[in-house]
Structures are given as C-alpha cells and as structure tokens.
Amino acid sequence: MDPITGKEDVKYYLGRLYFQKADYNKAIKVYKEGLAINPQSIILLYEIGSAYLKLKNRKNSLRYWKKLLHISPHSFLANEVSWQINK
C-alpha cells in the first residue's frame, strides 16, 4: 500500500469525515483533490470507488477500482475490490 503524506493525507482524512457523515459527493470532491496531488494513490482510488458505490454509481466505482488494480494489482486494496469488479 502506498503511504500518504503532506497535503494528500489532509484530503484523505477530510474525505473520510465527509464519507462518515454520508456526504458522499463532498467526499468524492475532496478525494479527487488528493488524487490530483498523487494520481497513484491507491487509497484515494479505493475511497472514491467506495463513495461512488454508496451513491449507487457502479460504473464510476468500477472505473476508479480498475485504476487501483492497474497501479497495484497485488495490494490488500486490490483484493478488497477485485470481487466487486468480477460481479
């Protein structure tokens, strides 16, 4: 799993706060800001996909999770999402 540092971790934790409050659109917005800082962040890709899934937007969810699998196919998070993609 990739480490998150500096500005990226602020976006991750702020996004998690919105996610926990079920404000998934705000969470996605903030996670994407973090992804602009580090486009290779599998953590943010996972979280964006999870937020889209909560919004019942499977197409976008799968889009971000497939990016995660491409970047880090053997990571713990890849194992978490691979069953969703193969549904």
Is residue 37 assigned to a domain?
yes
What CATH number is attached to the domain comprising 23?
Answer: 1.25.40.10
pLDDT in tens, 24-72: 999 999 999 999 999 999 999 999 999 999 999 999 999 999 999 999 9
Environment class of residue 28 by beta-carbon count within 10 Å: exposed (0-12), middle (13-18) or buried (19+)?
A: buried
Is residue 74 assigned to a domain?
yes
Structural domain range at position 43: 6-85
Is residue 75 assigned to a domain?
yes
Task: Determine if the pTM surpasses 0.85.
Answer: yes
pLDDT in tens, 53-63: 999 999 999 99
Neighbours of 56 (CB within 10 A): 8
Is residue 58 assigned to a domain?
yes
Q: How many structural domains does the chain have?
A: 1
Spatial contact of 58 and 77, defined as CB atoms under 8 Å apart = no
Spatial contact of 35 and 70, defined as CB atoms under 8 Å apart = no
pLDDT exceeds 80 at position 85: no
> At 4, is the pLDDT very low, low, confident or very high (cuts 50, 70, 90)?
low
Query: What tokens were used for 70?
Result: 């491409």
